[in-house]
Structure 1
Amino acid sequence: MIGSAFYYIFLVPVILVSLTVHEYAHAIMADFLGDPTPRRMGRLSLNPLRHLEPVGTLLLFFAGFGWAKPVIVDPANFRVPRRAMLSVAMAGPLSNLIMAILGVALLKALAASLSYLALSPNAIMLLYKFCETIIIINLSLALFNLLPIPPLDGSRITSYFLPGKYRLKYRQFEELAPMLLLILFAVGGLGVILSPAINFSFNALNDLFGDPLREIGTYLLRFKTGGMQY
């Protein structure tokens, strides 16, 4: 049970930082490619208050997925608008993937340091849950936003690769897309879609870094936990 408590303690700061980084990545990419709109609107900032959207933030707490306030860009300011819009769309999910990788790297560093650090099982579990929260929240944000449903980033990415004759029809789908998202949320469809992808991605990153989860678990088994659940 202590692990669950740690998870919720870390949830608020991790969500705030992860959402902020996601939207900041959109803004800084647009600014880099020549569109000053995000800068003028105050979105080129790491202040969470500039980026949070109440409903999307609450959903991330209670449903495991969510969104922040969209970054507004003006394609007319880009030299190559379609390519620039693709780059801006990809910047958000990519930033969350990088943060998830950072979380696994921290897990690996923890696992490699266990024999040198005089840490109690509780301290180890606290550090583990901190890293796990970073990984899960950022994988959730990245994968949710990659869904090809407008107005999510995945829809912009999908639109770029569609042939011209299908692109217009796909854009017409934008009017119905928010309702589709609400229906998927109401019936639990988003969880069915995203949970396997999140678990697969988590395990893949863990394996890529040499399975630090197993190393930490094995180390913790050497301690008498006094009935605590890990």
Structure 2
Amino acid sequence: MDFLQKLLWYPIEDFPFIMITLVVAFTLHEFAHAYSAYKFGDHTAYNAGRVTLNPAMHLDVLGTILIMIAGFGWARPVPVNRGRFKSPRLMGIIVSAVGPLSNLLIAAVSILAVYVLNETGLLHAVSYGVQSAVIHLLNYMILINVLLFIFNLIPLPPLDGYRIIEDLAPQRVRIKMDQNAHWGMFIFLLIVFIPSLREVTLDPLFGLSRPIIYWFQDLYELVFSPVDWFGFQRIVDR
């Protein structure tokens, strides 16, 4: 068991909470891509059965396993034909952006759920075991979705951030990007799997998760009222 834990990014006892989080995060992320492309006139994803909230259509086995091992992962990419959009660049940017934004929305709703539970005292009315389960699940809903939001905006293929930059770039730059996309994938893999590179690239980026979480906390307290964020110190401790 100790050997297995050394291979994993997250505690093995939290596996059920992480899997629930990943099912929600990956499913809504890919559904957002597919649905927005469909509404903009591209039926490619719809014909492939991807405009659905059925997790089985979106989850990727390797991508799900890697998030347990390396702290990052992916779902099955949604096929998109930008040539079918009325405004290919603008609509392409929106289709690419709604995936990461869906993860940010899940995190925001989860933080709001924490606020409501604290404000209403609902967790005090249940057993310690239920309290612990709810806290663990919401912790991971917040953390993993914020990390996925940040991760997917990195401008390297095959991530959404790359597609956004590609659609923003002039035609001559887009051609160069397409010609060198394979090098982008190589750089991406080096950054992910070489610890020294990861420490100066991904780790500082992932460090932005705390300011994002704090911002939502402060926003809710500003709009509603101050609250003690009990039970969530692991993620939101200042």
Same fold (TM > 0.5): yes
2:183 matched to which residue of 1? 176
1:223 matched to which residue of 2? none
1:91 matched to which residue of 2? 98
1:148–1:154 Cα contact (<8 Å) kept: yes
- Structure 1 residue 216: deviation in Å? 3.5
Measure the CA separation in 2 of the matches of 1:127 and 1:77: 43
Could you say if the C-alpha distance between residues 116 and 51 of structure 1 is closer, same or farther in structure 2, counting changes exceeding 3 Å?
Answer: closer
Measure the CA separation in 1 of the matches of 2:155 and 2:232: 42
Measure the CA separation in 2 of the matches of 1:60 and 1:213: 34
2:203 matched to which residue of 1? 192
Q: Deviations over 1:28-60 (max 9, x none)?
A: 000000001101011111111111122221122
Specify the code of the residue in structure 2 equivalent to 1:204: W
Aligned counterpart for 1:206 among listed residues 206, 217, 220 = 217
Could you say which structure has the greater relative contact order, defined with CA pairs below 8 angstroms and 6 or more residues apart?
1
1:124 matched to which residue of 2? 131
2:5 matched to which residue of 1? none
Q: Deviations over 1:134-187 (max 9, x none)?
A: 111111111111000012100111123223332322232311122112111112
Could you say if the C-alpha distance between residues 75 and 108 of structure 1 is closer, same or farther in structure 2, counting changes exceeding 3 Å?
Answer: same
TM-score, with structure 2 as normaliser:
0.82
TM-score, with structure 1 as normaliser:
0.84
Deviates more, 1:98-107 or 1:58-67: 58-67
Specify the code of the residue in structure 2 equivalent to 1:60: I
- Structure 1 residue 63: deviation in Å? 2.2
- Secondary structure of 1:215 counterpart: coil
Aligned counterpart for 1:215 among listed residues 212, 228, 237 = 228
- Structure 1 residue 115: deviation in Å? 7.2
Unmatched 5+ stretches in structure 2: 1-10, 234-238
Specify the code of the residue in structure 1 equivalent to 2:79: I
Q: Deviations over 1:52-80 (max 9, x none)?
A: 12222112222222111111111221111
Q: Deviations over 1:178-202 (max 9, x none)?
A: 2112111112316414321222222
Q: CA RMSD in A?
A: 2.6
- Secondary structure of 1:210 counterpart: helix
Unmatched 5+ stretches in structure 1: 221-230
Measure the CA separation in 2 of the matches of 1:41 and 1:59: 25
